[in-house]
């Protein structure tokens, strides 16, 4: 009887973990729409990202002081990892900041590739790795082979759709996979769009 209860508890914990991961990474993947918005309304989108960054940061600081903000605090609570409990949840800040810096300091085509690498590469890698990944990579803090291969594939396809160049897409995919494997916690959100976008700039001659 106790064994069945324990199994039930573990199953509920697993379902809750899967829901959190799906919810968190759906936000990640939705950032892939930003390049489209940037193309048609560059400065309004930049202003919107800055506002979002400031608004979220203020809401998080208030939440840590025990003042919950309707909707925002709930979304943060649902999406937060276990390591973020009772801490400032940094992921959304680095996500928006990485996209913002890429959009501001890189040509549009390069920023688009960098943002896609973050949205699809990092987002899908984490999702696949945590849901079906079995073989972990030594020294990568739990990152899996399945997640890394997913990152490479997603970034390769996204870059090829943007550039039509197989060699550049291969190099970009491999570099994105390498960065994603590094144990950077939430700071890969900053590094991926900027470094991948800049590398694409060098390789494509923008």
Grouped pLDDT means (10 residues each) for the chain, 206 residues: 56 66 80 94 96 90 81 69 73 92 96 96 84 74 85 96 95 94 85 96 88
Q: How far is the C-alpha of 204 from the C-alpha of 172, rounded, in Å? A: 11
Q: Is there a contact between 107 and 2 (Cβ–Cβ < 8 Å)?
A: no
Q: How far is the C-alpha of 66 from the C-alpha of 182, rounded, in Å? A: 34
Give the residue among 118, 184, 198, 183 at the shortest CA–CA distance from 151. Answer: 118
Residues 6+ apart with CB under 8 A from 173: 121, 151, 152, 153, 155, 156, 159
Q: How far is the C-alpha of 51 from the C-alpha of 200, rounded, in Å? A: 28
Predicted local distance difference test score (pLDDT) of residue 62:
87
Name the token pair of 36: 């489209």
pTM (2 d.p.): 0.87
Q: How far is the C-alpha of 22 from the C-alpha of 29, rounded, in Å? A: 10
Query: 135: left (phi > 0), else alpha (psi -120 to 50), else beta?
Result: beta
Predicted local distance difference test score (pLDDT) of residue 42:
96
CA dihedral 78, 30, 112, 40 (to 10 degrees): -130
Q: Coil, strand, or helix at residue 80?
A: coil
Residue with tokens 């930049």: 46
Predicted local distance difference test score (pLDDT) of residue 140:
63
Sequence length of the chain is 206
DSSP type of residue 185:
G
- Tell whether the torsion through CA atoms of 41, 95, 190 and 117 is positive or negative: negative
Q: Coil, strand, or helix at residue 170?
A: helix
Predicted local distance difference test score (pLDDT) of residue 105:
96
């Amino acid at each position: 009887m106790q064994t069945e209860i324990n199994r039930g508890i573990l199953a509920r914990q697993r379902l809750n973990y899967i829901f959190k991961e799906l919810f968190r990474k759906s936000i990640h993947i939705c950032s892939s729409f930003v390049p489209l918005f940037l193309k048609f309304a560059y400065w309004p989108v930049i202003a919107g990202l800055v506002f979002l960054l400031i608004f979220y940061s203020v809401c998080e600081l208030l939440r840590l002081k025990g003042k919950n903000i309707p909707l925002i605090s709930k979304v943060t609570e649902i999406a937060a990892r276990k390591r973020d409990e009772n801490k400032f949840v940094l992921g959304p800040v680095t996500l928006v900041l990485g996209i913002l810096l890429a959009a501001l300091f890189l040509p549009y085509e390069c920023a688009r590739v960098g943002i896609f690498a973050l949205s699809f590469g990092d987002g899908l890698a984490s999702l696949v790795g945590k849901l079906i990944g079995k073989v972990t990579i030594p020294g990568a803090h739990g990152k899996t082979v399945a997640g890394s291969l997913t990152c490479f594939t997603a970034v390769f396809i996204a870059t090829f759709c943007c550039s039509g160049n197989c060699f550049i897409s291969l190099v970009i995919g491999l570099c994105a996979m390498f960065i994603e494997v590094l144990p950077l916690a939430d700071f890969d959100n900053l590094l991926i769009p900027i470094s991948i976008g800049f590398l694409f700039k060098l390789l494509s001659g923008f």
